Amino acid sequence: MKINIKVLFSALLSLSLLCFTSCEDDIVAPPEEVINPITITIEEFNTFLDDGITAQYEGQWVRIENVQFTGLDAGQPFLGNRNIQDETGATAVIRTNSDRDFAYQLTPEGSGAIQGYVSKFVSSGGTTTIQLILRNLEAVEEMNNERFEIVGTRVTIQEINDNLDTYLNQLVTLENVQFVGSDTSQVFNGTSSNANGSKDLEDCEGNTIIVFTSTSSVLSNEPIPDGNGRITATVSTFGETIQLLLDEVPQLEGPRCGDSTLPPCEEDNGSYKNICFLRNLYTGGTTTIPSGTTIRGTVISDREGGNIDSRNITIQDGSAGIVVRFTAEHSYDIGDDLEIDISGRELGDFNELVQVIDVATSNVTDLGNITPTVTQITCEELETGLYESQLVIVSSVTYADAGENFYGGSGSGSNRDITDASGTSVVRVDNDASFGSTAIPSGSVNVRGVVGTFNGSPQLLPRNTSDVTNPSLP
């Protein structure tokens, strides 16, 4: 009988890291001769026999196909512990001692097969872990394919703490998190001891979890960001402590929990007014825009998709976004880089969606076409209203009305609820949208669109079919 004991393998990603130097002599060196490697998966590699101590493939040569070194370990020296992952997000450790002649060679940045010798390490506390030991660089010579994209399962800190067995040794993504204030003045590790690698991550509800960074990590000497945002990491444990091992540089650039202050907004950007400055002029009702005001932005709406009024465009410039309503229909497409003279025009709103009103198309200069920037956010972030008239993508959502058409067939449009780990938001599709008859996908998908507002309630407005058929993340 063979069982998979996840908790025991968790030390593969934690205790083995803590043994970076002191445990080197306890690692079994591979035999000189490679004998008939057995092709297995990472899940099988992590399997113990029913005694809970003996690894299923302990003392054997194995081959694991379609794997890659994790984002922070790819292109780094083999020395120490480096993690590989497969397309499911499952992870295993590759151990290389300093006496190996390839210890300071760099790990491959592609994907493919790897082979090595399965070794076991037992800590002083009696925890058994499994590591893959490479004989030489021939073990990774097939890892020259393109890297594959892995999207971490969207979870919260509380869900990890309450359901460890579900997420252990899996890649996850956490949104709206930040390092505690006392840690933001430090680096991730910055010492020769792994004992200094544990830092506290929190969410806005006060839930916490440890983020562990080894001395050999590329992030070891990097300062801990002080903002709020997204991290992607592998769930692990050290003893009874749950911890995360970062898979990429944390994206923590937003305002911290409880900080409703918008990012600083500069009035000018060269010869143009920033759109954020223009939005700040709006205080309700209508306001006459000062003479000499010109803005420049990228069109993010799609006139051909039909999910926007034919006289309107939505543009963004990196500081914010806004709707511009023309006096007639226009011919501007996604990505058009426009300079717009809005001197003397009215700044107002339509059902609380801020817009510049009645601009002549003759006031527009087309400067070319560029790819618009897409910001990845959560449903919770969408509901803050801070992303109005910006192009965003919300990942790993499910539709309440999966299988139905985006437009329900009556009225001016249809509202469809989407839900991710952070909450629920509305996707709005008008009756004129070219993709209204497209069936809503089932399962976990991504949805992209422009953030709108209707009477104070944020809405996500997909622009075309590609926005609603599980678009790739930026």
365 lies in the same domain as 379: no
Choose the final residue of a domain: 319, 343, 369.
Answer: 369
Residue 444 amino acid letter: S
User: Is pLDDT at 348 greater than 80 in this prediction?
Assistant: yes
200 lies in the same domain as 112: no
Residue at 262 is within a domain: no
29 lies in the same domain as 126: yes
407 lies in the same domain as 306: no
75 lies in the same domain as 112: yes
- For the stretch 356-366, pLDDT in tens is 999 999 999 99
Choose the final residue of a domain: 346, 369, 392.
Answer: 369
439 lies in the same domain as 404: yes
Q: State mean pLDDT over 95-100.
A: 91
6 lies in the same domain as 91: yes
Range of the domain at 447: 375-468
Q: Provide, for the chain, the percentages of residues in helix, strand and coil under a 3-state DSSP scheme, each rounded to the nearest 5.
A: 10, 40, 50
User: Is pLDDT at 19 greater than 60 in this prediction?
Assistant: no
Q: State mean pLDDT over 216-237.
A: 88
pLDDT given at position 440? 95
Residue at 322 is within a domain: yes
pTM, two decimal places: 0.53
Distance CA 459, CA 451 (A): 6
**Which two three-digit tokens encode residue 33?**
């001769």
Q: What is the CATH number of the domain that holds 234?
A: 2.40.50.140
User: Is pLDDT at 252 greater than 80 in this prediction?
Assistant: yes
- For the stretch 116-137, pLDDT in tens is 999 987 765 555 678 999 999 9
pLDDT given at position 150? 79
**Which two three-digit tokens encode residue 271?**
């010869």
pLDDT given at position 159? 92
Residue at 30 is within a domain: yes
Q: What is the CATH number of the domain that holds 359?
A: 2.40.50.200
Residue at 356 is within a domain: yes
42 lies in the same domain as 70: yes
User: Is pLDDT at 23 greater than 60 in this prediction?
Assistant: no
pLDDT given at position 262? 57
Distance CA 285, CA 411 (A): 28
Domain count of the chain?
4
Choose the final residue of a domain: 328, 345, 369.
Answer: 369
Query: 78 CB contacts (<8 Å, ≥6 apart)?
Result: 94, 96, 100, 102, 103, 104, 105, 106, 107, 134
User: Is pLDDT at 12 greater than 50 in this prediction?
Assistant: no
410 lies in the same domain as 439: yes
Q: Which residue has the higher pLDDT, 340 or 204?
A: 340
129 lies in the same domain as 112: yes
- For the stretch 272-320, pLDDT in tens is 999 999 999 998 899 999 999 999 999 999 999 999 999 999 999 988 9
The two beta strands, 171-179 and 153-155, are parallel
Q: State mean pLDDT over 78-91.
A: 88
pLDDT given at position 14? 42
314 lies in the same domain as 410: no
User: Is pLDDT at 84 greater than 80 in this prediction?
Assistant: yes
Q: Which sign does the torsion angle of CA 323, 324, 328, 332 carry?
A: negative
Residue at 338 is within a domain: yes
